Amino acid sequence: MKKILSLIFVVLSFAVMAEEDLRISDIRVEGLQRIDPGLIFNNIPFEIDDRIDDIDFSKSISLIYKTGQFKDVAIEREGQVIIISVRERPVINDVIFHGTESFQPEALKEGLSLMNIASGLIFNNGDIARAEREITNNYLSQGKYTANVRAEVVPLERNRVDINFYVEEGRLSRIKGIAIVGNRSFTQNELLDEFSLKTTNVMSWWEKDDRYSKQTLMGDLEKLRSFYMDRGFMNFKINSSVVSISKDKKKIYIALTIEEGDKFSVGKLKLKGDIPENISFAELEKELAITEGDVFNRSKVNESTSNVASSLGNFGFAFANVSSVPTIDEDKKTVNFTFYIDKGKKIYVRRINVLGNEKTKDEVIRRELRQLESSWFAQDKVDRSKTRLTRTQFFDTIDIETPTVPGVSDQVDLNIKVAERNTGRIQIGAGLSSSEGVVGTLSVAQDNFLGTGNRIATAISTGDINKTYSLSFTDPYWTEDGVSRGFSIYRRDVNTKDLGTGTYNTSSMGFGMNFGIPLSEYDTLTFGVTIDLTELELGSDAPIGYKNYCASVASAGSLNCDTDSLSLWTGWQTDSRDNMIFPTKGYRVSLNGDVTLPVFDMQYYKITATGEQFFPVSENITSRIKGTIGYAESYGDEIYPFFKNFTVGGQSTLRGYRQSSVGEKVLDTNGQYITYGGQKMVAISAETYFPVPFMKKMESFRMSAFVDGGGVFEDSLTASEMRYSAGIGATWLSPFGPLNVSLAMPLNDDNLDDTETFQFGMGTNF
């Protein structure tokens, strides 16, 4: 019996030992449809020939789940074979929207893709509710508080699904009331004028300003805070803002509770800290935008700190820190400010890198820079460099970055990133002019020829009065110092039958050469020579003065004469405008003189001076004043050529009067009054530009209100001969050229004046 028991024990012991040493002979994966088995094998912590007893099945299942590809995972054992059973998550086949009008489906899909809901991604049922909320929030931001979004998942073959979103957009919820409680110093209307949000009004259909948005309200609250802070109320508070909606979710009401506090004025101002030796506190005090006794203005305080920091930046201290610390005197209702200055280290520019210029040569960009390598950083020079690059009109965008040099605390690089624009233009079209009718144009120009910055242009312009054909070339950097040189050749035919200046025709051909010498950053001296060959043909009704001129250069009684000239001209111009197209500040002044040499028929000189000043009235409103005077005279025994007379009238000088119609009148041989012009001219204008109502941007469209004045005189200037007008105008930078429209009322015209209330013109002058 004992032998039998011993034998049984030995057999069982071997069985247990064999069981403990069992190893994996195979691993099978079941349930895969589109996923490669390698994904599972790469994520399980066991392989064939591993001991079965060493397998942590729970951990293995967890690792497979973490791949995110499966919704069910199970691991079983059949002898020495491990069987892994899985159920794949379905793949999103398509995302489909029904009932969307306010949003494009592609825009909604882009937002959902950030939530991993997109064609080709794994479907997760838990994402559906989040997607419904996200789409609903998009409609809430549009003021549609009754919007309803419902998702439906449609199973497809091969373990795919379509997700359908059914949207009921509902009606817009509109702001019906905005109430402010606690305002004592300003009326509610004054405060609400600062808001972007409005109650429903006659223009809400266009402005969409009665649609509630939390982000817009936050912005309006900050505008309200700034409004008070800029008017002395430095302790202003917004105690509460409550937004409520009606039961039908169609009406929104906003209630604000504010506390104005007392009004404060500016007390003593001090500057303290470490400043460079070559700058005094007195100089920096001039940069402060506030003075003692002013009403407290938070914007002016911030402007002061910025101005002082910028001033230090002009001397190399690019990272100067300026902070303002107020000291409040509640009894006197004043606030003293101490401006603490930490100039930091003087910064040098190690290297200037030009990026993005594929066509424009590096030297064309670098020659416009005023900030130089290996010199200290100067913010004003960097700003001026950007302005000069903008003026070239070669680039759509210009971004300047100043990254610090790694491992060095007092050096930066200047990275100039440009996005080039197409500087070549070909234009075939027609323009309209109230004085010339249809004006055909053909022009081909390249402002950046072969990336050199040189300009070459040819143009043809045909109108009832002027027909012009021209070819020109300009090298703006003929020398390294910025001296420019240009050539031009032209043909110009003029027929004055529709101008009211007496009938005559001129046919001119000419060649000119010009030079420009920069005197400073803003001043340029120009000079040149022009040879002009003009054939003059008088009409039979021409006044006696016209005939006398032809007789002086040809023969008595002649109606045809050649009037050639060789003229030298020079000019000076200073220009500080911030923008070449729609300036908002700065000035431009020019003085030009032209004299013909006594080698041909015409012997005269002509001087003109023009000045205009732009200054901002507010963020979107700019005013301009402009004046032009001209004087011309013959010399020697020659008669001054009448077709060189000054005239005034038209959009460029005096709106409300027909082009070239203002000036001395004479009778032609038919007894009709014509405008003879004169050798003295004055034109003045005051104009205020403002954005087109209901348009928030002024980049290409703006309106103006103006008062013009002008006169042409044969002898002395007299006030009675001046003409004035007032009106409104609009300018649109259309794809076909600038369109200018004006509606003007002459203020003191007489019976002989030729008025024109509505005037317009399209196209570029060459």
3-state secondary structure 587-629: EEEEEEEEEECCCCCCCEEEEEEEEEEEEECCCCCEEEEEEEE
Given a contact cutoff of 8 angstroms between Cβ atoms, the answer to whether 739 and 761 are in contact is yes
CA 282 to centroid of chain Cα atoms: 37
Residue 488 pLDDT exceeds 90: yes
Residue 657 pLDDT exceeds 80: yes
Segments in 208-274 forming alpha helices (H):
214-229
Residue 3 pLDDT exceeds 60: no
And the tokens for 285?
A: 């005090």
Residue 490 pLDDT exceeds 80: yes
Given a contact cutoff of 8 angstroms between Cβ atoms, the answer to whether 614 and 583 are in contact is yes
Residue 322 pLDDT exceeds 90: yes
Residue 513 pLDDT exceeds 90: yes
Please, which pLDDT band fits residue 671 given cuts at 50, 70 and 90? low
According to DSSP, the residues that pair with 714 across neighbouring strands are: none
Strands 466-475 and 454-462: antiparallel
More confident residue, 686 or 250: 686
Segments in 271-407 forming alpha helices (H):
281-285, 298-313, 362-366, 379-391
Please, which pLDDT band fits residue 494 given cuts at 50, 70 and 90? confident
Closest among 533, 603, 607, 601 to 570, alpha carbons compared: 607
**CA R_g for the chain:** 40
CA 93 to centroid of chain Cα atoms: 42
CA distance 687 to 621: 11
CA distance 116 to 372: 49
Name residue, tokens 């000035």: 587
Question: Which distant-in-sequence residues (6+ apart) come within 8 Å of 264 by Cβ?
Answer: 232, 233, 234, 235, 295, 296, 328, 333, 334, 335
Q: In this predicted structure, what is the pLDDT of residue 203?
A: 78
CA distance 571 to 289: 37
CA 98 to centroid of chain Cα atoms: 37
Given a contact cutoff of 8 angstroms between Cβ atoms, the answer to whether 521 and 384 are in contact is yes
And the tokens for 658?
A: 């027909």
CA distance 167 to 180: 36
Q: Look up residue 550 and give its DSSP letter.
A: H
Closest among 186, 209, 185 to 199, alpha carbons compared: 209
DSSP 231-262: TT-TT-EEEEEEEEE-TTS-EEEEEEEEE---
Q: Count the residues in the chain.
A: 766
Given a contact cutoff of 8 angstroms between Cβ atoms, the answer to whether 230 and 254 are in contact is no
Residue 382 pLDDT exceeds 90: yes
CA distance 696 to 208: 13
Is the Cα torsion angle 271, 273, 276, 278 positive or negative in sign? positive
Q: In this predicted structure, what is the pLDDT of residue 392?
A: 86
CA distance 54 to 24: 10
Please, which pLDDT band fits residue 760 given cuts at 50, 70 and 90? confident
Q: In this predicted structure, what is the pLDDT of residue 618?
A: 83
DSSP 340-372: EEE--PPPEEEEEEEES-SSS-HHHHHTT--S-
Taking only the tens place, the pLDDT of each residue in 540-554 is: 777 777 788 887 777
More confident residue, 17 or 693: 693
According to DSSP, the residues that pair with 445 across neighbouring strands are: 425, 457
Average pLDDT in the chain: 85
C-alpha dist (Å) from residue 597 to 123, 510, 565: 88, 15, 7
Residue 5 pLDDT exceeds 80: no
CA distance 156 to 153: 10
Strands 26-30 and 81-88: parallel
The values of phi and psi at residue 55, to 5°, are: -75, 130
Q: SS3 of 128, please? A: helix
Strand extents, DSSP E, 157-202 = 160-168, 174-181
Please, which pLDDT band fits residue 763 given cuts at 50, 70 and 90? very low
Name residue, tokens 């040493």: 21
Q: In this predicted structure, what is the pLDDT of residue 669?
A: 57
pTM above 0.85, yes or no: no
The values of phi and psi at residue 190, to 5°, are: -60, -40
Taking only the tens place, the pLDDT of each residue in 287-303 is: 999 999 999 999 999 99
Burial 155-164 (b: 16+ CB within 10 A, else e): eeeeebbbbe
And the tokens for 642?
A: 């009448």
Helix (H) or strand (E) run with residue 291 in it: none
Whole-angstrom distance between the N-terminal and C-terminal Cα of the chain?
127
CA distance 596 to 568: 6
Given a contact cutoff of 8 angstroms between Cβ atoms, the answer to whether 676 and 499 are in contact is no
CA distance 212 to 200: 11
Taking only the tens place, the pLDDT of each residue in 600-620 is: 878 899 999 999 999 999 878
Residue 696 pLDDT exceeds 70: no
Residue 431 pLDDT exceeds 70: no
CA distance 516 to 484: 5
C-alpha dist (Å) from residue 28 to 74, 142, 154, 483, 620: 12, 54, 31, 83, 74
Domains defined for the chain, CATH in brackets? 22-88 (3.10.20.310), 91-168 (3.10.20.310), 174-259 (3.10.20.310), 265-342 (3.10.20.310), 348-420 (3.10.20.310), 424-762 (2.40.160.50)
Closest among 511, 519, 457, 505 to 489, alpha carbons compared: 511
According to DSSP, the residues that pair with 581 across neighbouring strands are: none
According to DSSP, the residues that pair with 734 across neighbouring strands are: 737
Given a contact cutoff of 8 angstroms between Cβ atoms, the answer to whether 164 and 98 are in contact is yes
CA distance 6 to 53: 28
Residue 153 gets the label, from left (phi > 0), alpha (psi -120 to 50) or beta, of beta
Percent of the chain with pLDDT over 70: 89
CA distance 395 to 390: 7
Is the Cα torsion angle 278, 280, 286, 287 positive or negative in sign? positive
Strands 348-355 and 395-401: unpaired
Name residue, tokens 């420009």: 516
Q: Look up residue 347 and give its DSSP letter.
A: P
Is the Cα torsion angle 121, 124, 130, 131 positive or negative in sign? positive
What is the Cβ-side half-sphere exposure of residue 212, based on CA atoms within 13 angstroms? 23
